[in-house]
Structure 1
Amino acid sequence: MLNLSLDKNNRRALTSAIVASGTDDLNVMFLSFSMSSIMADLAINGVQAGWIATITNLGMLLGGLFFGILADRYHKFKVFKWTIVIFAIATGLIYFTNSLPYLYLMRFIAGIGVGGEYGVAIAIMAGIVPKEKMGRISSLNGIAGQVGSISSALLAGWLAPSLGWRGLFLFGLTPLFLVLWMHLSVDDQKITDHAEYQTHEDVEVAKISHLFQTADLTKQTIALMVMTTVQIAGYFGMMNWLPTIIQTSLGISVKDSSLWMVTTILGMCLGMLVFGQILDKFGPRPVYTSFLIASAVCVFLFQFANSQAAMLIGGAIVGFFVNGMFAGYGAIITRLYPHHIRSTANNVILNVGRAVGGFSSVIIGMILDVSNTSMVMIFLASLYLVSLVAMLSIKNLRPQIYQTPSHD
């Protein structure tokens, strides 16, 4: 699938950037499988529970802004390691939760680390591999995240009954071993960070304002923020709440709902793999159009699944389209913005999406408090049509423009 001629140090750096995405998803997804237990143990309602994920996403926004600029101004790989340390330690400290404010605080700090990690990891990958292969590399990055989610599902199903939800979060400390390996095995100073077609802009100090320097650039940045908002709203809305909804509506156990999650995530992995391949071949406009329309239809139809078999098959199909698209954002943002703000652009755009899209957890909690699952699925399906309109408004995604090398 990929033919990359890299030395040992760059291979290890690239592997580290990809694997780290798996570890942050492992930590983040622990919440999905603990939500019902947390609600019962801390005696909180749906809206309060929804705020746990939303506060995490607000932390991601702060971390994305801070660490994106820091990585573009200083050394990406050093900053990258610190982001992992922050979210690993904060996740492990959730073990000591005895109140909702403490849980909010730890999730906020963990979000700071996770939010910083993504854009820096993408920038490291983009510095090592050619841009025409970034779609496929981004898909591998996304798949690593889903492997982390599958690991979270398996740990929840097998260990949460005996360790409790607090004990589950102790496994959030495991990324510290990855940081140790990176520290011992990768020479920070010998990691490639190329910038083809470099211009004078590429030596400027990174600023968030560079994402809004012209009217067209502002429209592009806002449209991408709308797209990532919908991406995150759909993903977190489904992954944070559907296991709980399924447990209630079908009367099944945490272990059985974990099986649904694993099937859905496998569909997501296949979707990302396919999306990365066809993105590099056909470009973003036709590929995103197809996946966004299919996502709206599949999510709407999912409400009619009324058996465990239908849930499993439907979950895999929904996962294929809904999260297959995630593989494309790192690739297209890297191509649409100059080298000197590569980390900043990825982190700001995605984490604004995370912060705003994270409110879907609260909104879904509100909907479930007053209505039913059908209304939730209609709400989520409509979001993908909004994303489609935003995507079509981005002029630089037109084939004749997108295929021309950008600022780099």
Structure 2
Amino acid sequence: MEHASLRTTTLSHEQKLVMASTASGFSLENMDIMFLSFALTPIITDLHISSGAAGLIGSITNVGMLVGGALFGLLGDKYGRVKTFSHTILIFAIATALMAFANNLTLIYALRFLAGIGAGGEYGVGIALIAESFDHRQIGRMTSVAAIGGQVGAIIAALAAWWILPLWGWHALFLLGVLPVVLTFFVRRHLKESDDFLAARAEAVAKHERVSFGELFKTRRLAGQTLGLMVMTIVQIAGYFGLMNWLPVIVQKQQGLSVSGSALWMVATIFGMCLGMVVFGNILDAIGPRWAFGTFLSASALIVYAITLAHSSAILVIIGAVVGFCSNGMFGGYGAVISQLYPARIRSTANNVIMNVGRAIGGFSSVVIGLLMDHYTLTVTMGFLSALYLISLLTMLSLPGLRQLSAKAKA
């Protein structure tokens, strides 16, 4: 369906509510994830655990995201985006706040798994809301704006870590996780279901159709497309969580920087990501996903090596911004592509399953990077990530659906 004129950037009242809600939800979710990144070093110290055990905390969170994504993706397609979105926010908010009372590794694993269930369910439902509220020639930019909202949450987490960790420790940091509860009331009060979803649900009811995971694989071509997109998201998450969970530790070990110093480095990286997302979203809408992903994946395979060349804090800040621009500028594009390749009746499920398979598998890069750091040089670690980006590039070029979207964008 056609929405507001594409010749103006003015958004309707409903579109503004959708963007405010989804961007805020992604912001608070990412704030929660980055709390773990900054708390990882003091958690290792307090609990006397290995780098591998610490990396497993983030990986367990991503397994929870897979479970929550699968469950809430189906619920979002069956019962509605708005109700499901608000419930997912509430779950990860409570689980994060309870981390303030966790004093052993088993409880931390359990709470991070629960937080992952809520966070994983949120993504696909939020992306579906955006896709059903804007013209297809705007989706790349809008999903990128929502992804930038996620990076705002990361900046808040960095600033909170800089202030809270030295004074009150990592337990106090997670208490801020209760903030998303406020958003649930806003979402339920102001958002309404999209016309696309209501029409798709009515048609499914009339035809006695049920949403299932099997619809993502019901033909050979569709199965190939789904699996290919999973490979791409696995690589994206491997780079994102692998780097973002371990970069503060890498920076502290390589340069001897304090937590506050590494937080400054992380803020520079996040600003680079935001700029990259703006550029990527505009390229995606203008000339299609093949050019957008092809350019950024190629650059990412090269630029991760720049981390090994940094020998001063100033250079680290610059390199952080460039790495963020290239490696994570693509993040908002996956939801835009998936939302256009799958129909409204399985859109939430497709987004959640594909992205959260990527999170669950790609999230283990935290463990792999931890092990590589324990036994090999930083160059070897970055070489692992570079190879992954090249695999994603080759996979992307093999997907006919992305070729068709590129042709559609140029038409």
TM-score (normalizing by structure 1) = 0.94
Q: Deviations over 1:291-335 (max 9, x none)?
A: 101001000232111111111111101100100011210111001
Q: Is the 8 A contact 1:95 1:170 kept in 2?
A: yes
State how far apart, in whole Å, the 1-side matches of 2:313 and 2:93 are: 34
- Pick from 188, 211, 215 the counterpart of residue 192 of structure 2: 188
State how far apart, in whole Å, the 2-side matches of 1:119 and 1:39 are: 32
SS at match of 1:313: helix
In the TM superposition, residue 96 of structure 1 has moved relative to its aligned partner by 0.4
State how far apart, in whole Å, the 2-side matches of 1:394 and 1:210 are: 18
2:119 pairs with 1:129: no
Where do 5+ consecutive residues of structure 1 fail to align?
none
The match for 1:257 is: 262
State how far apart, in whole Å, the 1-side matches of 2:188 and 2:144 are: 26
Q: CA distance change for structure 1 residues 401 and 216 in 2, over 3 Å: closer, same or farther?
A: farther
Q: CA distance change for structure 1 residues 274 and 81 in 2, over 3 Å: closer, same or farther?
A: same
The match for 2:211 is: 206
State how far apart, in whole Å, the 2-side matches of 1:250 and 1:6 are: 46
In the TM superposition, residue 8 of structure 1 has moved relative to its aligned partner by 3.2
Q: Is the 8 A contact 1:268 1:319 kept in 2?
A: yes
Residue correspondence of structure 1 range 14-163 to structure 2 within 5 A? 14-163=19-168
The match for 1:286 is: 291
State how far apart, in whole Å, the 2-side matches of 1:88 and 1:187 are: 20
Percent sequence identity over aligned pairs: 48
In the TM superposition, residue 131 of structure 1 has moved relative to its aligned partner by 1.5
Q: CA distance change for structure 1 residues 72 and 323 in 2, over 3 Å: closer, same or farther?
A: same
2:331 pairs with 1:316: no
The match for 2:383 is: 378
State how far apart, in whole Å, the 2-side matches of 1:192 and 1:79 are: 17
State how far apart, in whole Å, the 2-side matches of 1:305 and 1:57 are: 30
SS at match of 2:368: helix
Where do 5+ consecutive residues of structure 2 fail to align?
1-5
Q: Is the 8 A contact 1:232 1:357 kept in 2?
A: yes
The match for 1:267 is: 272
Q: CA distance change for structure 1 residues 401 and 324 in 2, over 3 Å: closer, same or farther?
A: closer
Q: Which amino acid aligns with 2:69?
A: G
State how far apart, in whole Å, the 2-side matches of 1:126 and 1:83 are: 19
Q: Is the 8 A contact 1:34 1:165 kept in 2?
A: yes
Q: Is the 8 A contact 1:124 1:193 kept in 2?
A: no
SS at match of 1:132: coil
The match for 2:3 is: none
Q: CA distance change for structure 1 residues 197 and 282 in 2, over 3 Å: closer, same or farther?
A: farther
Provide runs of 4+ in structure 1 moved above 4 Å. 4-7, 194-203, 399-402
Q: Is the 8 A contact 1:10 1:192 kept in 2?
A: no
State how far apart, in whole Å, the 1-side matches of 2:350 and 2:381 are: 31
Q: Is the 8 A contact 1:122 1:346 kept in 2?
A: yes
Q: Is the 8 A contact 1:264 1:315 kept in 2?
A: yes
Q: CA distance change for structure 1 residues 70 and 290 in 2, over 3 Å: closer, same or farther?
A: same
Aligned residues: 403
2:350 pairs with 1:340: no
Greater Cα offset, 393-402 or 169-178: 393-402
The match for 1:236 is: 241
State how far apart, in whole Å, the 2-side matches of 1:335 and 1:71 are: 17
Q: Which amino acid aligns with 1:285?
A: R
In the TM superposition, residue 400 of structure 1 has moved relative to its aligned partner by 6.8
2:397 pairs with 1:392: yes
Q: CA distance change for structure 1 residues 395 and 197 in 2, over 3 Å: closer, same or farther?
A: farther
State how far apart, in whole Å, the 2-side matches of 1:270 and 1:401 are: 22
Q: Is the 8 A contact 1:285 1:399 kept in 2?
A: no
State how far apart, in whole Å, the 1-side matches of 2:211 and 2:400 are: 24
Q: Which amino acid aligns with 1:178?
A: L
